[in-house]
Amino acid sequence: MKDFFKVTDLDKVFEYTSLFPTVKTEQVLIEKTPGRILAEDITADIDLPGFSRSTMDGYALCALSTFGASEENPAYINVVGSIAMGESPSFAVEQGETARISTGGMLPKGADSVIMIEHTEILDEKTIEVYKGAAPGHNVIEKGEDFTKGTVVLNAGQKIRPQETGLLAAFGKEKVQVFKKPVIGIISTGDEVVPLAETPQPGQIRDINTYSLSGQVIEAGGIPSTFGIIKDDYKDLLGKCREALLASDMLLISGGSSVGTRDFTIEVLSALPDSEIIVHGISISPGKPTILARSGKKQVWGLPGHVVSAMIVFTAVVKPFIEKISGSSPERKSRFALSAQLSRNVSSAQGRTDYIRVRLTEKDGILWAEPILGKSGLINTMIKADGLMEIGKNVEGLEKGTAVKVFPL
Amino acid sequence: MKDFFKVTDLDKVFEYTSLFPTVKTEQVLIEKTPGRILAEDITADIDLPGFSRSTMDGYALCALSTFGASEENPAYINVVGSIAMGESPSFAVEQGETARISTGGMLPKGADSVIMIEHTEILDEKTIEVYKGAAPGHNVIEKGEDFTKGTVVLNAGQKIRPQETGLLAAFGKEKVQVFKKPVIGIISTGDEVVPLAETPQPGQIRDINTYSLSGQVIEAGGIPSTFGIIKDDYKDLLGKCREALLASDMLLISGGSSVGTRDFTIEVLSALPDSEIIVHGISISPGKPTILARSGKKQVWGLPGHVVSAMIVFTAVVKPFIEKISGSSPERKSRFALSAQLSRNVSSAQGRTDYIRVRLTEKDGILWAEPILGKSGLINTMIKADGLMEIGKNVEGLEKGTAVKVFPL
């Protein structure tokens, strides 16, 4: 049995991420930041909070004033005022004095703690009994306790989640610098492929990859830019690739998995300006015939034509490359895999990394990963799948009950 | 210690989802479907694939022709043609005959299987040797094997992932009916709250909740619609709530957590048209003072003012309500929690559900959930957090090493 090309190990493939530069940055309004990658460090230009705040409804005072107070032996404290929300108290509290305060209110001078209203009793207009001693800082968020002025609070490369957007608001950042979303060009190839709007004749199939890959690009934080279907014609494909590369940061070509088509794609990629074939075949299944090429500083991927193979290669191989050029800090992906138990034995060939589609089911508190059988050309296996399980290249198969990691699909 | 309001159990709160109707539907182009919720069942109107296809490069033939073939005793087969991609073969193969076929090619009449090219040798222009017997269906995807014409392939209520978008393409669906994204109105309240663009004076804080909640609404599949900051004024807040409700499918009001502010919000909500206070306090921490009201068929939430409490209540309580009105089928959330081990003992009060922010770290293949200490008023605890861990209401605390479920933040 001939080996048609020299496959590259997955680890080695990922080393090539360093070849491709990060996209440019742009300024966006804070409303547009959720999900984006921060491109600048953010430094606290004020203390957060800017003043000591109460975390309870109660009475602000100096902890010393409550020294030894208990149910049996309450402290009698003089109420000298009430603190309005949003205002700086115009008075101070001395020892033996207090002021009424609400949650979020600013502590007056002289106060270092707050007694919950539940631990007090009003004696008269001017006096309360306090039934519990307070320590300094009790029920208070100190000035600068959340973030101190001058510290770096967010780093370039961080993904902006809703809480990071909130933090930008806290520091009054109306606009921030983020990485642009990379534009990912998508081309479908194959004499048998017809557009969505056409009714396929016998021998023909509709173009699926343009749509499934576009969805994956969106999920990965990129902007899909589609260039339609190109028949297996050298000149047409070369022309379309040149055009697409000018308008994209990366190019995905999905095409037939036949040896002829593959050779043909290699020929086209080799003819691109300043080009180099970097990877011709990866030791993974499905997806072995995947090609990675370079044209200038842009990457061009030759993906399998089968929709399932193309999707799995995207998830397992292409996505980390998109994240790299998106400016994202090294991924936390492995931390966010689901732990499950394998529902039955699975065989796997040594020397390659296998990706198995699984359905997840919970039973008695245990999450089971149930491998989905079916040829890789069947899209129904991806519709049924909840996730993808990886079997390492040095593993010959896994037994029922093995703890496995599953990446949600 | 007085209990200021009668809290509702979380389970009971979720029963109220049934009170609120699903949003309307709209037609979108297939390109816009990723991430949307399907609002119609999709039925296969053709067989997928529409013809029997080869999954390999090789020779299409009738399996019977290879009966008994082996390395020592090859079968000699007559090559009668070659099948072009995308075309219906104009000829049939009889027993003892074959045709050259590529991956994805259409099987000619008379063929039921494909022999891989690696298991053949060319003898002359018209003859090959076959070294291996094939069974019917070998290396073939049969007509209709992926999906059979007439079956329901996708259901209303399903979230459209990239593979579902791909499937819509396979059936030529240029447009489909999806649920509209619900518009979620957001109002910040409090005399101490100032807009982002202002420099807060002592006693004042910038509006964070408008931005953090907007980000969460986007993540939950909704469209945030912000209505700014309203001071603690009955008439202003009532007016703004009426205005916001007309333009939204649901309304979120985040406000101070003081008893006074809460009473005030209740008064305003009670004055809305056709209104009812459904929940006044939930047995969760943080987030106990949460309010759920109804105005007509729309829900109005009174969320705590503290950014962390507001975000946690959104994640744990509000989000399932948004998913309900978004038309989403009952959630698969629990299946997609991460399993981790608790890094230290955590105490919890019985009778309430506790949400603990955790940092996730992997060590020796084990995912550890490390509780983040810190007051719920500190946004830095949310910045450090990778996820949220739930401690059930009947649990008094968890010991180090306990297996816990973590929802990514």
- Distance, in angstroms, between B365 CA and closest chain A CA? 10
Contact A166 B212 (CB under 8 A): yes
Number of Cβ within a 10 Å radius of residue B343 = 18
State yes or no: pLDDT of A133 exceeds 70. yes
- Residues B186, B302 within the same domain: yes
List CB contacts (< 8 A) between B211 and chain A.
30-31, 162, 165-166, 168-169
The predicted-structure confidence for B176-200, as pLDDT tens digits, reads as follows 999 999 999 999 999 999 999 999 9
For residue B65, the domain's CATH number is 2.170.190.11
- Distance, in angstroms, between B274 CA and closest chain A CA? 31
The predicted pLDDT at position A377 comes to 81
Closest CB to B163 among A146, A163, A379: A379
Residue A5 within any structural domain of the chain: no
Closest CB to B196 among A169, A376, A377: A169
Q: What is the mean pLDDT of residues B305-317?
A: 95
- Residues B316, B228 within the same domain: yes
List CB contacts (< 8 A) between A168 and chain B.
211
List CB contacts (< 8 A) between A194 and chain B.
86
Q: What is the mean pLDDT of residues A124-151?
A: 96
Residue A1 within any structural domain of the chain: no
State yes or no: pLDDT of A306 exceeds 80. yes
For residue B160, the domain's CATH number is 3.90.105.10
State yes or no: pLDDT of B340 exceeds 80. yes
The predicted-structure confidence for B249-262, as pLDDT tens digits, reads as follows 999 999 866 777 78
ipTM: 0.94
Q: Is B208 on the interface with A (CB under 8 A)?
A: yes
HEC letters along chain B: CCCCCCCECHHHHHHHHHHCCCCCEEEEEHHHCCCCEECCCEECCCCECCCCEECCCEEEECHHHHCCCCCCCCEEEEEEEECCCCCCCCCECCCCEEEEECCCCECCECCCEEEEHHHEEEEECCEEEECCCCCCCCCEECCCCCECCCCEEECCCCECCHHHHHHHHHCCCCEEEEECCCEEEEEEECCCEECCCCCCCCCCEECCHHHHHHHHHHHCCCEEEEEEEECCCHHHHHHHHHHHHHHCCEEEEECCCCHHHHHHHHHHHHCCCCEEEEEECECEECCCCCEEEEECCEEEEEECCCHHHHHHHHHHHHHHHHHHHCCCCCCCHHHHCEEEEECCCEECCCCCEEEEEEEEEEECCEEEEEECCCCCCCCHHHHHCCEEEEECCCCCEECCCCEEEEEEC
State yes or no: pLDDT of A367 exceeds 60. yes
Contact A316, A361 (CB under 8 A): no
The predicted pLDDT at position B114 comes to 98
The predicted pLDDT at position A115 comes to 97
Domain interval for residue B272: 10-23+180-325
- Residues B222, B311 within the same domain: yes
Residue B132 within any structural domain of the chain: yes
Give residue A114's pLDDT band: very low, low, confident or very high (50, 70, 90): very high
Contact A307 B166 (CB under 8 A): yes
Q: Is A334 on the interface with B (CB under 8 A)?
A: yes
List CB contacts (< 8 A) between B361 and chain A.
335
The predicted pLDDT at position A364 comes to 81
Residue of A nearest to B204 (CA): A86
List CB contacts (< 8 A) between A305 and chain B.
103-104
The predicted pLDDT at position B373 comes to 82
The predicted pLDDT at position A168 comes to 98
Least confident of A287-291, A347-351, B6-10, B171-175: A347-351
State yes or no: pLDDT of B405 exceeds 80. yes
Closest CB to A196 among B164, B172, B199: B172
- Residues B19, B42 within the same domain: no
Contact B409 A163 (CB under 8 A): yes
Least confident of A183-197, A276-290, A364-378, B183-197: A364-378
* Mean pLDDT of chain B, nearest integer: 94
Q: Which of residues 119-178 of A touch B (CB under 8 A)?
A: 141, 145-147, 153-154, 160-174
Q: What is the mean pLDDT of residues B285-303?
A: 96
- Residues B342, B372 within the same domain: yes
Q: What is the mean pLDDT of residues B349-369?
A: 90
Contact B86 A191 (CB under 8 A): yes
State yes or no: pLDDT of B332 exceeds 60. no
Contact B256 A378 (CB under 8 A): no
- Distance, in angstroms, between B163 CA and closest chain A CA? 5
Contact A336 B408 (CB under 8 A): yes
- Residues B305, B192 within the same domain: yes
The predicted pLDDT at position B1 comes to 36
Contact A218 B34 (CB under 8 A): yes
Domain count, chain B: 4
Residue B64 within any structural domain of the chain: yes
For residue A230, the domain's CATH number is 3.40.980.10
The predicted pLDDT at position B74 comes to 96
- Residues A403, A364 within the same domain: yes
The predicted-structure confidence for A24-50, as pLDDT tens digits, reads as follows 999 999 999 999 999 999 999 999 999
Contact A191 B85 (CB under 8 A): yes
Domain boundary among the residues B288, B303, B325 is at: B325
Mutation pick from A31, A56, A85, A402 vs chain B, by most beta carbons of B within 10 Å, is: A85
Contact A219 B34 (CB under 8 A): yes
For residue A398, the domain's CATH number is 2.40.340.10
CA distances from B216 to A318, A383, B103 (A): 28, 27, 45
- Residues B106, B215 within the same domain: no
State yes or no: pLDDT of B210 exceeds 70. yes
Q: What is the mean pLDDT of residues B40-47?
A: 98
The predicted pLDDT at position A4 comes to 52
The predicted pLDDT at position A83 comes to 96
- Residues B321, B220 within the same domain: yes
Q: What is the mean pLDDT of residues B58-84?
A: 96
State yes or no: pLDDT of B355 exceeds 90. yes
Contact B85 A203 (CB under 8 A): yes
Mutation pick from A138, A161, A163, A194 vs chain B, by most beta carbons of B within 10 Å, is: A163
Q: Between B175 and B375, where is the model more confident?
A: B175
Q: Is A4 on the interface with B (CB under 8 A)?
A: no
Q: What is the mean pLDDT of residues B55-79?
A: 95
State yes or no: pLDDT of B14 exceeds 60. yes
Cα–Cα nearest to A93, from A74, A118, A67, A114: A114
Q: Is A82 on the interface with B (CB under 8 A)?
A: no
State yes or no: pLDDT of A178 exceeds 90. yes
- Distance, in angstroms, between B66 CA and closest chain A CA? 19
Q: Between A335 and A359, where is the model more confident?
A: A359
Closest CB to A196 among B174, B214, B307: B174
- Residues B185, B253 within the same domain: yes
Q: What is the mean pLDDT of residues B262-278?
A: 94
State yes or no: pLDDT of B303 exceeds 70. yes
Residue B252 within any structural domain of the chain: yes
- Distance, in angstroms, between B22 CA and closest chain A CA? 25
The predicted pLDDT at position B12 comes to 96
Rg (CA), chain A: 31
- Residues B170, B187 within the same domain: no
Residue B260 within any structural domain of the chain: yes
Contact A166 B307 (CB under 8 A): yes
- Distance, in angstroms, between A141 CA and closest chain B CA? 8
Domain boundary among the residues A86, A114, A141 is at: A141
Residue B254 within any structural domain of the chain: yes
Residue A4 within any structural domain of the chain: no
Residue of B nearest to A87 (CA): B203
State yes or no: pLDDT of B334 exceeds 60. no
High-pLDDT (> 90) share of chain B, %: 86
Q: Is A397 on the interface with B (CB under 8 A)?
A: no
List CB contacts (< 8 A) between A196 and chain B.
30, 169, 172-174
Q: Between B260 and A226, where is the model more confident?
A: A226
The predicted pLDDT at position B2 comes to 41
- Residues A114, A198 within the same domain: no
Least confident of A14-18, A341-345, B391-395: B391-395
Contact B258 A145 (CB under 8 A): no
List CB contacts (< 8 A) between A86 and chain B.
190-193, 203-204
Mutation pick from B53, B154, B163 vs chain A, by most beta carbons of A within 10 Å, is: B163
Contact B165, B171 (CB under 8 A): no
Distance CA B388, CA B365 (A): 21
Closest CB to B311 among A2, A57, A162: A162
Give residue A3's pLDDT band: very low, low, confident or very high (50, 70, 90): very low
Residue of B nearest to A362 (CA): B335
Q: Between B61 and B338, where is the model more confident?
A: B61
Domain boundary among the residues B290, B325, B360 is at: B325
Q: Is A191 on the interface with B (CB under 8 A)?
A: yes
Q: Which of residues 337-376 of A touch B (CB under 8 A)?
A: 337-339, 360-362, 367, 375-376
How many beta-carbon pairs under 8 angstroms link A with B? 317
- In B277-398, where does DSSP find H-type helix? 307-313, 319-325, 380-384
The predicted pLDDT at position B386 comes to 93
Contact B192 A104 (CB under 8 A): yes
Q: Between B131 and A262, where is the model more confident?
A: B131
Contact B106, B53 (CB under 8 A): yes
Contact A339 B338 (CB under 8 A): yes
**How do beta strands A53-54 and A140-141 pair?**
antiparallel
State yes or no: pLDDT of A1 exceeds 60. no
